[in-house]
Chains A and B, each alone.
Chain A
């Protein structure tokens, strides 16, 4: 046995709880996904089994990790689902909403344990009662407020009216490491206690000597349990499902005449499930059904829980922090490889042929490693899209609108960090569509449209960016209303503005043309927050709209926040990186192409007057090149807005590792981070969009 030494050996149960929280969230999401996909249709047996499995797993995990409150609703939900899948009860469409609400309550309890958020007990009691009422009364779908008195009673077991009370004797011999695994036996025994009269006797397997060689975290105790209950043997075994292998729980039924409450187990042989050693006198043939664990071995057994044969575990769970650390370390490796390559560049390629060849191989391998590591953080956008079917369903009912949601490009992948940050903005955009853009069926019909409106979420990868479109076929933006509202709010606007310029007005803080404020949207605190949130992750938002036809909001995001393809440029003694995907071209202007408009220097290129952004002015750098004719102008395009960035010289193209300045120093305006070049120097990565904003601010003061 290992020797307990110091605090480092203490079991940190938080790590086990975190695993349960994640798995529970996944099960809840899976339940919701299946339920939403049904609409109001009856689930087939496969779907029902999958929903049951999810509820069952949540209940089992909650019981093991001591979140007893979460077993309450899941137990009743599980019972109801079991009746459905055993055809003991007919399905009714109202059950879908009831199950969804049950999932919400379980989610609330999960959030309470995980995040410390408020848990409303009345919601738990209500949903549990409604589920129980459905079990008790058959097909009727109870709504809130129609509870019978019977629901007030504690009813942990849905017993049939003519249930037989039996006495079970159990011998539980758990794994020695059951304590170390974080299993809370108190929760297990509490659950047994809810089934009936329970008597427990603990017996150490061996005499324990309190010495340094004894490990108190090793379980050396067996338990004898006696339970008088109307529950079935299968129901009892289910409680031990996640903690005991078949040979660790021996259970027998004592005949009613033998159930005298004696502590001493009978001489009759204890049986494990499937064992041939069962006394016919002690086993009720009606209840002699093999327990859950037998089905674990045969996925295709009748009554098996619907798992497909051969469903093997093909992934492992890794913490995000570990992945980020790995990405960071690979990033450092890339920088070091660049530095080595730069140093070797000065060596004679003939004399050092092997070294150069090896460095080339190192560069290829390092890039491959970087790509592989980066891909770990990529998740499909379906993770975000999957939340909207439920939202659209509920809002449709609330707003009395008919809405069909379509998603395209669900498998488009982007960085996990972006997924988390894009969820709120997309949610707001969809809610806006539902509330303001899409008309009621009557209005749509009068306009010659289908009664059902459509919201399309489309994701794709274009160049080095992810593009997400939120498209509706609703009323479109009302240009006149927007201009009127802008005038009322003192925002500069005129009739001569293009549609694109008018649409940008809705991003002003507090801007809303909604006639009424609903609890869904219309307070005017949304679009500016959407823009800000998207821009904070290096994204852009564009709007296209046609009155009467619909609107498209396009959000474009960088593929990842960790690496970037860029062009390094020199300004004085400093180096900067300009993102390649923003660059149109570079040129050295002649005198005839340099103009001035309203006192601002511009360059005339192919009929356009493009403002010049002098980096040395913006960043207050000393350089001998202040005249564009002596430097290089790098033409950039940011969401349709162009600029010509004046630099001293172009250096090289790189794929650079983005390092955050903000976390290491402070936020530097006009930059999206920094990187370390091959010569070991730090180069700022330009945020071209914010550079243009800086220029406007500087020029106007």
Chain B
């Protein structure tokens, strides 16, 4: 059971900036490898527990979402704190979240 997937949510947490990315990545790979069937349908992308995000983190986030989509996990909505949303938009990665509605 992957810790990435909880209650139909793809949950990311911790430091997703340059300072923390080297720690995040091995953990991410481990959790990705644990994702099995059945995959949640229309999961929510939850970034509420991400404490820091920068261009480096956005780059990895892009790669992660692309990888999840290839494996059939396509987020239908996203829960992103305003501060992170601003960074994502400022760094030009806003297209990643095009069409993702904020959850009700």
Contacts and interface: CB of A to CB of B under 8 A. Distances in A.
A221 B26 contact: no
Contacts of A225: 92
A193 interface: yes
Nearest to B93: A202
A365 B87 CA distance: 58
A207 interface: yes
B26 A189 contact: no
Contact of B91 (A5, A202, A217, A224): A202
A7 B66 contact: no
Contacts of B4: none
30 contacts: A4-B26, A10-B20, A10-B22, A10-B23, A11-B22, A12-B19, A13-B18, A180-B18, A185-B54, A186-B55, A189-B91, A202-B58, A204-B59, A204-B62, A207-B66, A208-B62, A209-B63, A210-B28, A210-B64, A210-B67, A214-B63, A216-B24, A217-B21, A217-B56, A219-B55, A219-B59, A221-B55, A221-B62, A223-B91, A224-B92
Contact of B92 (A13, A190, A201, A210): A201
A7 B21 CA distance: 10
The 4 closest A-B pairs by CB, nearest first: A200-B92, A202-B92, A208-B63, A185-B55
B29 A212 contact: yes
Nearest to A192: B90
Contact of B54 (A5, A186, A207, A211): A186
A4 B22 CA distance: 6
Given A11-B18, A201-B95, A210 B56 contact: no
B23 A7 contact: yes
B66 A208 contact: yes
A191 to B, nearest CB: 11
Given A212-B29, A221-B62, 7 more contacts: A11-B19, A179-B18, A208-B66, A210-B67, A216-B21, A220-B59, A221-B59
A13 B19 contact: yes
A307 interface: no
Interface in A552-586: none
Q: How large is the interface on B (under 10, 10 to 19, 20 to 34, 35 or more residues)?
A: 20 to 34
B56 to A, nearest CB: 4
B11 interface: no
A200 B90 contact: yes
B59 A216 contact: yes
Interface in B56-91: 56, 58-60, 62-64, 66-67, 87, 89-91
A6 B23 CA distance: 7
Contacts, number: 93
Contacts of B66: 207-208
B35 to A, nearest CB: 12
Contact of B22 (A190, A212, A217): A217
B32 interface: yes
B19, B29, B55, B66 — most chain A CB neighbours (10 Å) = B55
A9 interface: yes
Q: How large is the interface on A (under 10, 10 to 19, 20 to 34, 35 or more residues)?
A: 35 or more
Contacts of A201: 92, 95
A393 interface: no
A184 B52 CA distance: 13
Interface in A1-33: 4-7, 9-13
B85 to A, nearest CB: 13
B5 to A, nearest CB: 16
Contacts of A11: 18-19, 22
Interface in A217-261: 217, 219-221, 223-225
A383 to B, nearest CB: 34
A182 interface: yes
A211 to B, nearest CB: 8
Contacts of B25: 4, 214, 216
B20, B26, B66, B92 — most chain A CB neighbours (10 Å) = B92
Nearest to A202: B92
Interface of B: 18-26, 28-29, 32, 54-56, 58-60, 62-64, 66-67, 87, 89-93, 95
B91 A185 contact: yes
B67 to A, nearest CB: 5
A348 to B, nearest CB: 62
A173 B26 CA distance: 27
A193 B90 CA distance: 9
Contacts of A12: 19
Interface in A434-461: none
B55 A7 contact: no
A300 B54 CA distance: 39
A203 to B, nearest CB: 8
A571 to B, nearest CB: 58
B1 to A, nearest CB: 19
Contacts of B29: 210-212
Contacts of A210: 28-29, 32, 63-64, 67
Nearest to A181: B18
A190 B86 CA distance: 11
Contacts of A204: 59, 62-63
Nearest to A182: B18
A185 B53 CA distance: 12
A204 B92 CA distance: 11
A186 B28 contact: no
A211 B93 CA distance: 22
A11 B91 CA distance: 20
A11 B21 CA distance: 9
Nearest to B54: A186
A202 B56 contact: no
Given A7-B23, A216-B56, A186 B63 contact: no
Nearest to A220: B59
A219 B56 contact: yes
A210 B60 CA distance: 9
A12 B19 CA distance: 7
Contacts of A4: 22, 25-26
Contacts of A180: 18
A186 B59 CA distance: 13
B22 A216 contact: yes
Nearest to B89: A200
A320 B89 CA distance: 42
Contacts of B18: 11, 13, 179-180, 182, 217
